[in-house]
Structure 1
C-alpha cells in the first residue's frame, strides 16, 4: 500500500565507466536551448544562497556531461542533492547535449523548481558528433568547451581563482571537493598517503613527492584510472596491438604529446573523472581535447577513446596531472582507487550508524563544519565520490544504476528501500574484501539517494500544487 507524507491530501492533478551521450542536434537548436534557459534564469531568484565565498576564496564549479535521456536525468538530480548534502561550496552544472527544444525547456523549469537560487544550473549544448560518424562520448569535450565559452551566467565570477571539477553523472559526492592537494599535509607513516596536522588521511596516491599545494594554473589533478601509458608507445613495434598502427602525429602534430614516453603517460596523464583543473587551463584543454577525440577515435574506435584523447590533449599542453587515488571508489575488485581507506575501517563501522537517509558514521561528512575551497575539508577520511557504475550486492540487497527506475525523482514514485541491519551484518560477516567494499557502497549510496529523493519531493512537489506525495520505501535497483 502506498504511503504518503501523512500531512495532507493530494489535490487533483568494468573498472572504468563512461557516459551515455546524445547523438544528434544542430547549432541552431543549441541557440534556441540557450535562449530558453536564459529566459528561465532571468526570473528573480529566492534571496537565499547555500554558500557564501569569503573574499579571495577559490571558486569551485562542479560540472558533468549528459544527454537528455531519462536514464541520465535522475542521475543529474542526484548529483545536485549529493553536493548539497555535503555542503559543496559552489555551483553545480549539468551540461546536457543534443536536447530537443521541449526537453531543454522542461529541464530548465525543473531545475528552477529544485533550486530557485540558480546554484544548480543546466547548460544546453549541441550533440558532439564526430567527423564521418558519431561517438556518443564525444559530448564530454564538446559540451565542456561549449559551456566554458558560451555559458550565461559565466562559469566564474573571477576566472583567475576558478576551478573546474569535471565528474560523471553516476558519481555521488561523499565529501566536498576543493582545490587543495598537498596544502597543510605531511607524509603519513603509510606509503602513498598524506595526513593533516591531526594525523587524519587526506590524500592517497602512488607518487606524492613534490605534490603541489593546490590546483593552480599549470597544476591539475585527476583520479588515477587503469589507462596506463600504452599510447606513449603508439606506432612502435613494441606497442600493444591496439596502438601498433596508431599515428600520434594525427593527434599531437609535432607537439609535446608526440614525444611523451610510456612512463610519462602512465605517471602524469592516466587520469579520469573527477578531473580538477584551473579555469585558465580549462578552455585550452577543452579545445585541445575536442580536437583530439576524432583522431583518437578514428584509430582507436573503442570505449575510453575520449579518455585517451584527454590524456593526449593534456600532454600536448604540457599540463601534467597529480594522479591521486582518494577522489573515487568504484570497482570493488580494483586497486588504484580510494579503497585503502575503506579497507582500514573496522568491519563493524563500515555500515555503523547507517539508517534511512543517513550514511555510515565512519564516512559521514558534517556540512556544518567550517572549511574553505583552499583547504581539505575536515571530518573523517573518505573518498570524494562513489562512482556507482558496477553492481553492488550486500545483505540480500543490491544496487545497480541500470535497474534504477527512471522516475526515481518524482512526486508519484516511492523512494529506495534500505535495510541497514542486513547491510551491516553482511559487512561484519563478509568472507572477502570485495564483499566488504560492496557493503560500503550500498550503505553510502542507498541512504544518500533516499535522502535526495525525499528532499526533491519536499522541494518540488509543493510547487506543483501538491500537498502530499509518495514517500513509501518501495523502490529497488
Structure 2
C-alpha cells in the first residue's frame, strides 16, 4: 500500500492444518483484505517433506514450499489463470520488504545497476516472453557441478551451457520476474528438479540451484540485475551503489521515509541479516517480539538522524567484542537499522489503529537491544 505496488499481491501459505487455515483466513479478511481487494491469501498442501527412494518420509526441507507453492498457486488460485500469458509474475521471499514498486521495466539507468560484465552481454531492459529477470546472487556456475544427467536427463540443454554463460545468466534469486507463460514453465521444471538437487545437496540453497537448472534446461537466460535487492551490507552484486549515493546527513531520515523520486532506491530489502550501529542500535528479524502488535505494547525507539556520525563500529547484542566498520559499511548498516525499525513501527501503528478498541500505546520507548538478556548499553 505505502509504496503503491501495482497488481495483485498474494501470500502463499503451505502446510496449515484445517483449523489453522480457517483462523488465518479470518484474520486476513479482517485486517489485510480491507486495505485492498488486490490482496489475496492462497493455501497449499504441505510440500516440505523429504522422501527416500521408497517414498517414505525421512526429513523436512521447508524451502520446497517455494517451487511447489508457486506451481500450486499458478494452477489453482481463483484470480490466477495461465491464459494471461503476457502478465508478469514476481516471486519474492516472505522476509522481503518493498522500498519502491517492482515492475518489469528496467530501462532507467538512474535506478538500475547491472555489473559491467553483464552490461557487455545485456539481454534487454524489459521482462518479456523468453526474457525473465532476477536479482543477482553469488551462486556462480556451481549448479553445473551437479550430476545433471540424474537431475535433468542425459539430453538436457543444461549440458550445452558454457561455464561463462552459466555464471552470467543463471545464478538468479528472488525477486524473480517472468511472464506467466515462462514462470509456469519454470515452476514445472523447478518442482521436478528440486527434490533431485536436494538428494545430491541436502543443504540451504538447494532449491535455488534447482531454479538455475530449471531455467537452463528451458533455455531461459535471465537478465540479472544487482539493484533489485539489498541485504548483506558487505556484499557486492546488490543495490548498495544506490544507497551509497545518499548523503550521510540524510541516510537515517531517508531510511525512515524512503522517497525514490529524491534518491533512487533498490526495490526490496531482504531481511536475512542482522544490522547494528554502535552498541545501542540493532535490528534482527528473529528478535521482533510477538506482542509488538498488541495495543498496550510500546513501539521501538528509533535511531537519531545523526546516528551514522556517532559511531565507527558495530557491537551487536551478545557479541563478545565490537567490530570497526569502514564508513561506507557503517552507512549501509545505519540505513537498514533506521528503515527496518520504522517499518515495524509503521506496521504496528497501522494495525493498532485499525484493531484496538482500548487505549493504544504508540510511544516509541522500547529499545531493541533491551530484548536481549545481555547487551552493552
Length-normalised TM-score, structure 1: 0.68
Partners of 2:288 and 2:159 in 1: CA distance: 43
CA distance in 2, matches of 1:297, 1:175: 34
1:459 is matched with which residue? Answer: 354
Alpha-carbon distance in 2 for matches of 1:101, 1:469: 33
> Size of the alignment, in residue pairs?
344
Aligned 8 A contact 1:230 1:262 in 2: no
The whole-number CA distance in structure 1 between the counterparts of 2:51 and 2:159 is: 23
Contact 2:3 2:99 in 1 (8 A): yes
Higher relative contact order (CA 8 A, sep 6+): 1
Specify the alignment match of 2:178 in structure 1: 277
Corresponding residue of 1:181: 106
Cα displacement (A) at 1:103: 1.3
Q: CA contact under 8 A between 1:423 and 1:443: conserved in structure 2?
A: no
Moved more, 274-283 or 413-422: 413-422
The answer to whether the aligner puts 1:469 opposite 2:369 as a matched pair is no
Deviates more, 1:201-210 or 1:137-146: 201-210
Aligned residue among 71, 94, 101 for 1:145: 71
- Residue of structure 2 aligned with 1:107, choices 12, 21, 24: 24
Unmatched segments (≥5 aa) in structure 2: 53-57, 314-324, 370-377
The secondary structure found in structure 2 opposite 1:342 is helix
SS in 2 for 1:351: helix
Q: 2:290 aligns with which of 406, 430, 443?
A: 406
- Structure 1 match to 2:43: 124
SS in 2 for 1:294: helix
Map 1:73-472 onto structure 2 (within 5 A).
Answer: 84-114=1-31, 115-116=33-34, 117-128=36-47, 129-132=49-52, 133=58, 134-154=60-80, 159-182=84-107, 185=108, 195=109, 200-206=110-116, 207-209=118-120, 210-232=122-144, 234=145, 246-253=146-153, 254-352=155-253, 358-359=256-257, 363-365=258-260, 380-395=263-278, 396-421=280-305, 423-426=307-310, 431-461=326-356, 466-472=357-363
* TM-score, length of structure 2 as denominator length: 0.85
User: Residues 161-203 of structure 1, C-alpha deviation per residue, up to 9 Å, x if partnerless?
Assistant: 3111111111111010001023xx4xxxxxxxxx2xxxx3434
Kindly indicate whether the alpha-carbon contact (under 8 Å) linking 1:332 and 1:434 is maintained by their aligned counterparts in 2.
yes
Deviation at 1:155, TM superposition (A): 6.1
- Between 1:277-286 and 1:431-440, the stretch displaced more is 431-440
Moved over 6 A (4+): 427-430
Q: Is the 8 A contact 2:157 2:217 kept in 1?
A: yes
Change (3 A) 1:250 1:326: same
- Structure 1 CA distance, aligned partners of 2:160 and 2:179? 25
**How many angstroms does 1:205 deviate by?**
3.2
Q: Distance in 2 between matches of 1:260 and 1:204?
A: 22
Q: Helix, strand or coil: the match of 1:213?
A: coil
Matches within 5 A, 1:2-13: none
Query: Does the 8 Å contact 2:161/2:216 carry over to 1?
Result: yes
Residues 414 and 475, structure 1, Cα contact 8 Å, conserved in 2: no
Structure-2 change in CA distance of 1:163 and 1:397 (3 Å):
same
Is the contact made by 2:246 and 2:263 (CA closer than 8 Å) also made in structure 1? no
1:146 deviation in Å? 0.5
Q: Deviations over 1:205-249 (max 9, x none)?
A: 3413443231111110111111010222x2xxxxxxxxxxx4211
1:204 offset after TM fit, Å? 3.2
Indicate how the Cα distance of structure 1 residues 456 and 264 shifts in structure 2: closer, same or farther if over 3 A, else same.
same
1:297·1:306 contact (CA, 8 Å) conserved in 2? Answer: yes
